[in-house]
C-alpha cells in the first residue's frame, strides 16, 4: 500500500467510525470496524478488543479472527498479560519479543508463542481517566510497533471510546456499565450463532462468522440482530 493510498484509507476509516456514532449506533459494529481497520492498515497480524464488565473483568468482544486459538490467547492476556497491565494503568503496554518466557507473564508468553505470535501491543480505550477496555495488536515478528502505527491505533481507539461513551457523562457510570454489559451479552449470542452455523454448514467458526457477517452486510442488518435471529431459528443462511 502506497503512502497516498494509506492516507486515503485512514481518512475513510475515521469517517466510517464517525458515521457509526450517529443513527443506529451499535457497540459491536463499532468495535468490529475498529479491529478490522487496524488489521488492514497497521503492521499487525491480528487484533482484538477487550471490554471490562461491571466487575472490571475483561472479555473479548471483537477480533479480526474467530479462531479459538486467537480468542483464547487474548482472554489469557486479559488475566495475566500486557492487556491487563494496559487496562490497569491506562497506558500502552508492549511485549516486543515473546521469543522467551516473559518473567511477568510466563504462561501468556508461552501460549502466544505457540500460536505464532512474537510481539503484542495493548492500547487503552480511555477517555480522560476512565479506561473501559483495551485494543490488542499482535504480530508474527518481534519488535516494537512503529511510532506512527501506535499513534494511529490510539487515535482510532479514542474515537471508538468516545462512541461508546457518547451522550453519557462520566458520572452516569451505571448507564455506561449497562451498555458495556449489553455488548458483552451480545458477544455471547454471536458465539452461539457461530456454533449454529458451524454445525449446520459443517464449517469452521471462522467461516461461520464470515457467513453471518456477509449476510448482515448484504441485507444492511446489524450483526447482533442476525445472530439473535439465527439462535432463535427465525432465519437460516
| pLDDT computed for residue 124 by the predictor | 95
Q: Is the pLDDT of residue 169 over 60?
A: no
pTM value is 0.72
Burial class (CB in 10 A: 0-12, 13-18, 19+), 180: buried
Question: Could you report the per-residue pLDDT of 103-160, keeping only the tens digit for each?
Answer: 888 899 999 999 999 999 999 999 888 899 999 999 999 999 898 899 989 988 888 8
Taking alpha carbons only, the member of 200, 198, 224 closest to residue 213 is 224
| pLDDT computed for residue 85 by the predictor | 94
Domains of the chain: 3-167 (3.30.450.40), 169-237 (1.10.10.10)
Question: Could you report the per-residue pLDDT of 65-80, keeping only the tens digit for each?
Answer: 888 788 888 888 888 8
Amino acid at each position: 500500500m502506497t503512502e497516498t493510498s494509506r492516507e486515503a484509507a485512514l481518512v475513510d476509516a475515521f469517517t466510517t467510525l464517525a458515521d457509526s456514532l450517529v443513527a443506529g449506533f451499535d457497540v459491536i459494529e463499532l468495535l468490529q470496524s475498529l479491529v478490522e481497520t487496524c488489521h488492514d492498515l497497521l503492521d499487525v497480524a491480528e487484533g482484538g478488543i477487550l471490554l471490562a464488565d461491571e466487575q472490571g473483568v475483561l472479555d473479548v468482544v471483537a477480533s479480526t479472527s474467530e479462531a479459538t486459538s486467537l480468542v483464547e490467547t487474548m482472554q489469557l492476556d486479559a488475566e495475566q498479560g500486557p492487556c491487563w497491565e494496559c487496562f490497569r494503568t491506562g497506558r500502552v503496554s508492549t511485549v516486543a519479543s515473546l521469543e522467551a518466557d516473559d518473567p511477568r507473564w510466563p504462561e501468556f508468553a508461552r501460549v502466544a508463542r505457540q500460536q505464532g505470535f512474537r510481539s503484542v501491543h495493548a492500547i487503552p480505550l480511555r477517555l480522560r481517566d476512565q479506561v473501559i477496555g483495551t485494543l490488542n495488536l499482535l504480530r508474527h515478528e518481534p519488535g516494537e510497533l512503529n511510532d506512527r502505527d501506535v499513534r494511529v491505533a490510539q487515535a482510532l481507539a479514542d474515537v471508538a471510546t468516545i462512541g461508546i461513551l457518547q451522550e453519557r457523562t462520566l458520572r452516569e457510570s451505571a448507564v455506561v456499565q449497562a451498555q458495556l454489559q449489553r455488548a458483552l451479552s451480545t458477544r455471547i449470542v454471536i458465539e452461539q450463532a457461530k456454533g449454529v452455523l458451524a454445525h449446520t454448514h459443517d464449517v469452521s467458526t471462522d467461516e461461520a462468522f464470515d457467513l453471518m457477517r456477509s449476510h448482515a452486510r448484504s441485507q444492511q442488518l446489524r450483526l447482533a440482530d442476525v445472530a439473535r435471529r439465527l439462535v432463535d431459528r427465525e432465519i437460516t443462511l
